[in-house]
Structure formats: structure tokens, C-alpha cells
Chain A
Amino acid sequence: MATSDTVTRPAVRVNRPSGRGRRATALTVGAILALMTIFPLLWMVTSSFKGADEVLSTNLLPHKATLSNYTYVFTQVPFARYLLNSLIVSVVVTVVALWFHSMAAYALARLRFPGRDTLFLLIFSTLLVTAPVILVPLFLIVHTLGLLDTYAGLIIPAIFNAFGIFLLRQFYLSIPSELEDAAIVDGCSYWQIYWRVILPLSKPVFAALAVLFFLANWNAFLWPLIATNSQDLNVVQLGIASFQQEHANNWNYTLAASTIAAIPTLGLFALFQRRIVESIKTSGFK
């Protein structure tokens, strides 16, 4: 397989047999798999524009595209309210979490105090605790605090997770100390250093984390299911799940509702995919 090409440019692309054939095969296989993977989502979107008579047809595209399913969803159920609830919860959790986590991470990465490493290990160990396992005690605590069926009960428990602290701490460890030293010489307090030096430097990590936090909260189902009762507090995931139960045979409506719930997540992913991918890769390796 030593083509003249590889002889002249030996260092490039040797990790895989180069050559057009190889690349064409990889492209073909990749494209087929990618299309198969995306098919269910595509099917959901196109079917949501089909009328009741057409929704079960096997045509990918509707013959007569209609927006009536969307109109129905917004007029017959308080779907706008569900979306608003999800938006409020996701935005508040994201903003507060970034603020709290960046403060904690700053202290863990840049300040010296006794017990710092122990504390970090303790925080890190909570990463092993997965939500469903502690669902019962969490429910009882939130009940005791009188926060069941309130926005606060939806929002506050969702703020705290070690993942964000951990990722931010890793980032802050890599900031050169000259910047802080200069601020200290200028007589800045620790709060001012955090506010004026650390936060402005955090923008790229914040962007990635914000997307991840927003997605996780927008997609959350289990906690809202348990922590809320009243329809006024329904988040969008709860809304579409119960909508489907009530309209079991009207798939055209359910698919329109699902599409609306999915659009913000797919849109954010399209916009921020590089950052999302980077932070997932980082999360895999300490």
C-alpha cells in the first residue's frame, strides 16, 4: 500500500491506510449509520407535520403538510405554560449553579486552607451517588422543608452537583498565578479577585457547562414527576408524557408536542456542539 503519495508525505495520515478507497468506504459506512441513527428523530419531526389521516403512512415527508397539530397542542393544553416552567427552572438552576460552583471551585483551586484536599475528595465522592438511589430520602427532605409542589422544590435540589465544581476546579488550577498576584499587589480582596480576574477568564468553561446544565434540567423528568402535583407547575417533559397518555391514539399531536420539547435541545447542540463534545471528553479523564 506504499503509494508514491505516502512516500512523499510520510508523517501525515499514516494511522489509517490512506487512499481514496478507504476514505470512500468510511464515508459510506459512516453516512449510512448516521442516517439510521438520526432516522427516529427525523421521523418524529416530519410526522408531526402530517394530519391525523396521514400520520401512520410510511412516507417520510407529508403529502399535505399542516401546522394544525401544533395549533392543537398550544390551544388545547397549557403547553406554553409547560415550556415557560421548564425555561424558568432550567435557566435559574443553570445561573445559580454556575455561580455557586465557580465560587467553590475557586476556593478549592486557588485558596489555601486546612483540610482542602479532604474536602475535595468528599465532594468528588458524591459523584458516585446517582440521583435515583437517593430519590426517597431526597423526597422526604424536600417534603420536610415544605417545598413539595413549589418552584423552589423543583429548582433548589437540582442546583447541587459535584460535576460542575470538579470541571471548574480543573480549569482554575490551570490559570497562571501571576494574574492573581498582580491583583493582590493592587490590594484586591479575594472577592474582587474572583469577580474581576477569575470570572472573566471562565467564559469558555461557563459556556460549555451552561449548555450541559440547561440540557440536563430541560430534559429532567423524574424529579419533577415526584416533586410536583399541580398542573401549573408541570414542566415540558411531564407535559408531553401525560399528553401522550391522554391522547394515546392521536400520534400526530403527541409528535408535535415531542418535537417542540426536543427542538431547544437539538438547537443548542447544533450551536454549541464543539463545546459540548469537549466537556464530555474532559469529563472522561480526570
Chain B
Amino acid sequence: MTAVAQAPAGAPSTTSGRRPTSRRRREALAAMLFLAPDMLGLLLFLGIPMVACLVLGFFQVDGFGGYKWIGLGNYERMFADPLFLHSLRTTLLYLVILIPGLFVVSLALALLVRQRFPLVGLVRSMLFAPNVVSLVVVALVWKFMLTDQIGVIDRILGFFGVTAPSWLGTPKWAVGSILVVTIWFAMGYYMLIFLAGLQDIPREYYEVAKLDGAGPWQTFRHITWPLLKPTSFFILLTSTVSMMTGGLDLLYVLTSGGPANSTTLIIYYIYQQAFVYGEFGYASAIGAFLVVILLIWSAALFALTRGGRFGDGDK
């Protein structure tokens, strides 16, 4: 954002030499004015908070009054805090199941709705529909359906002679319920991104494969999968970031982090520390820690896949 401040003209233009200096100066000035509102807002409400999050992690903040520098105190506290370690473990386990699950479901749906069949447009829309509803509504609807014994899911299972567990009342099933609801909510979005990737694959490849007598599995293995790698990379990256830092609304309304902290994922723990206990410094430190984890994950993914190309000479 400092680039705007440096913009005063007179600096040599890189491109056109035929434009007179006054014109270039006017153009730069106009650009600054056009950019000013958004740049100020982004700086104030995104840039500064981002830096502040890192800085605040070194402070102990009480209510609104005092900020006390405590160095690495918050970080030491983090790794001695059994609840934090518990929520870290829960989050990692949750992601280890969620990310591949979401990936496979979305890809399968995309492969299905890529085909031409009557009403395919309607089917796509219906699969995407949960994504346009708010997470609060999603949480409420599922809470209603998952109500112990009298909820529609338990009633349907009862019809088949299955005694349902208390979905939101037992730690294991509560995590499972959050997983299912999250996949149900998010799959349509990633399906559309997969679909866009699939539609970018030139049709000729499939024609050739067909002439060569390749079956569906071979076609998928040797054409679709390799050519879909950039999309897969993009989805792995963005879904991890958004699943790790999102979904707080769902946790808040559906389980409130319970039972027995079983659904207190890190993002919920941050919220709790900050806005229930007023531990702003500690919450910021955990937030900063989360950012570091995400950066490491992104870097690892980049390195492993060589920037999404997977380095094996496809394409």
C-alpha cells in the first residue's frame, strides 16, 4: 500500500515514451484517486489487523484497558494449555477426514454432472443449493433433524430398526455430524470448481481414448486425473484454508463446541478465548499460530506438487 504514496509522477515510465510528462502525471494522480477509498479501507480493516494479530500475540490484554508486553508468554501458555492441545488435535483429525472426504465427494459429483442427461442443469443447481443458505440456517435445520429420538433422522432409522446414538450429545458423533453437515454444505461449491476444470480438458483427448478402446477407468486414470491436477491442487489449498478458518457459525449454533469440548475446533477456541473470556492477547497468539500452520501447509503443498504441476510432465 506504500506504493500509492510513492506514486508522485516524474518517475520514469516503463512503457510508453511518446506520452507527454504532464499526461503521465495526470494519469498517475487519477489512478491514486481512484484507488484511494479501497486502499484506505483494505489497509485499515485488513492490513493493519493482519500485522496487529502478530503483534498482539506478544501482549497480555485485559478487557480494553491494559496492554502488557509478555514476550513469548502466550505461546508458552498455548503449549501448556490442555484445552488448546485438545482442540489442535481435534482440528487436525477433523481436517484429515474432511479434506479428502470433501475432495472425493465433490469430484465424484462433478464427474456425474459433467455428463449430458436430461435436467442436468437442475441437478447441478440442487446439489449447489445448500451453499447459498446461511450457516446459521444450516445449523438450525440439522439441529432439528438430529434431535434425539424425535428428530426425523432418528425416526427414519427407527423405522429400519436401528437405534440411533445421541448425535449431538456424544463427542464422537458430534464431530461426525459436523463433518457430514460441512460436506453437505460445501460440496456444491467445490463441485462447480471441479466442473470448470473438467470442462477445460479438450474433448479430442477423450475421442482419441475412445478410438483406442479405453474403458471409463483408464480414461479417468490417464486423461482426466492428470489434466485435472491444477484444479485438484487449487481445491486442496483453498479448501484447507477455508475449512480451518471457517465454519465458526456452524459450530456456534449447532454444538457450541460441545459436548465435552469435542467440537471446539481451533477457530472456535480463538473465538471463545477472545469474546467469552476477553483474552485478546492469547487469542491473537493462537490466530498467528494458525496462520503459520496454514503457510507451512501451503508451502508444503507447493513443494510436493511443484506449484500444482506435479512435475511429471503431463500436459
Q: Which residues of A pack against B, CB within 8 Å?
A: 10-11, 13-17, 22-24, 26-27, 29-31, 33-35, 37-38, 40-41, 43-44, 47, 56, 58, 100-101, 103-104, 106-108, 111-116, 118-119, 122-123, 126, 128-141, 143, 156-157, 159-162, 165, 189-191, 194, 215, 218-222, 225-226, 237, 240-241, 244, 251, 254-255, 258, 261-262, 265-266, 268-270, 273, 276-277, 280-281, 284-285
**Roughly how many angstroms separate A85 CA and B31 CA in the complex, as a whole number?**
35
Chain A residue nearest to B113 (CB atoms) is A30
Give the residues in chain B near A165, CB-CB below 8 Å.
Answer: 38
Given contacts A130-B241, A266-B132, 12 further A-B contacts (CB under 8 A): A30-B117, A44-B144, A58-B155, A104-B35, A104-B39, A126-B50, A134-B52, A135-B287, A190-B34, A219-B133, A251-B147, A254-B144
On chain B, the residues within 8 Å of A131 by CB distance are 245
Q: Evaluate contact between B140 and A269: CB separation under 8 angstroms.
A: no
On B, residues with C-beta under 8 Å from A are 1, 3-4, 6-7, 9, 11, 13, 15-16, 24, 26-28, 30-32, 34-35, 37-39, 41-42, 44-50, 52-53, 56, 64, 109, 112-120, 122-130, 132-138, 140-145, 147, 150, 152, 155-156, 184, 188-189, 192-193, 195-197, 203, 206-207, 210, 216, 231, 234, 241-242, 245-246, 248-249, 252-253, 267, 270-271, 274-275, 280, 283-284, 287, 290-291, 294
**In contact, B123 and A34 (Cβ under 8 angstroms):** yes
**A281 engages B196 (CB within 8 Å):** yes
Q: Would B35 and A16 count as touching, CB distance under 8 A?
A: no
Cβ–Cβ < 8 Å partners of B50 in chain A? 126, 129, 134, 137
CB distance from B283 to the nearest CB of A (A): 5
Known: A16-B115, A284-B193. A132 touches B280 (CB 8 A): no
Asked if B115 contacts A23 (CB within 8 A), the reply is yes
Contact pick for A41, options B4, B38, B141, CB 8 Å? B141
Q: A240-B136, A265-B132 are in contact. Are A33 and B280 (CB under 8 A)?
A: no
8 closest residue pairs by CB, A with B: A115-B3, A219-B134, A137-B52, A160-B41, A34-B126, A137-B49, A281-B196, A134-B49
In-complex Cβ contact of B134 among A14, A31, A113, A261 (8 A): A261
Contact A281 B6 (CB under 8 A): no
